[in-house]
Chain A
Amino acid sequence: EAGVTQFPSHSVIEKGQTVTLRCDPISGHDNLYWYRRVMGKEIKFLLHFVKESKQDESGMPNNRFLAERTGGTYSTLKVQPAELEDSGVYFCASSRSRLGYGYTFGSGTRLTVV
């Protein structure tokens, strides 16, 4: 089966601009997660979708971040306006099961805000 696909793989934007990251999960995976790794720090949970519903968005840093999953398929994560501290690698993962070992991660999007 195809894996989790994220794009773009890299994005460099200026402070104040808007960026939209996309994640295509594995077909049939109802659970979709976003995580972020800021340079040198832990990978941190952002949010969890079950189909099109937000199950847990406790990790979203602030209201500049907006995640959607229309139709329960692909998801987008929009940052508007971007700030310097938003730089990092954004990972998406999907799973059928809610158990950790069922996660499949994408390759990530490296976002650099200058």
Chain B
Amino acid sequence: GNSVTQMEGPVTLSEEAFLTINCTYTATGYPSLFWYVQYPGEGLQLLLKATKADDKGSNKGFEATYRKETTSFHLEKGSVQVSDSAVYFCAYQGGSEKLVFGKGTKLTVNP
């Protein structure tokens, strides 16, 4: 069935390190793809999105490119900050309205 597989954490980095969190999906058609973030004590927030192949979503220095050929939507940031410590969720929305999420990746950034 349809699913999202993302890199399992936890991931621990030093400030200013490069971040990649891998995400691949299994779905038919052309789903919309998302990264959500949950900061400690807060709800899920949309970080970025891409709605068609080759689109690049970006926000707060994070980027992800919708790769149809590899069914991937990897999240990257060139220089992470302590404030980026959070749990990151990859998700897609296909023909139905529900979001399908990955398991989440906990990122800790140390000063």
Contacts and interface: CB of A to CB of B under 8 A. Distances in A.
Contacts of A99: 32, 93
A45 B34 contact: no
The B interface is mostly helix, strand or loop, or mixed, namely: strand
Given A100-B32, A101-B46, A105-B44, A33 B89 contact: no
B91 to A, nearest CB: 7
A42 interface: yes
B103 A56 contact: no
Interface in A72-103: 91, 93, 98-101, 103
Interface of B: 4, 32, 34, 36, 41-46, 49, 51, 89, 91, 93, 96-104
Interface of A: 3-4, 31, 33, 35, 37, 40-45, 48, 55-56, 59, 91, 93, 98-101, 103, 105-108
24 contacts: A4-B43, A33-B98, A42-B103, A43-B89, A43-B101, A43-B104, A44-B101, A45-B98, A45-B99, A48-B98, A56-B96, A56-B98, A59-B98, A93-B44, A100-B91, A101-B34, A101-B49, A101-B51, A103-B99, A105-B36, A105-B45, A107-B42, A107-B43, A108-B43
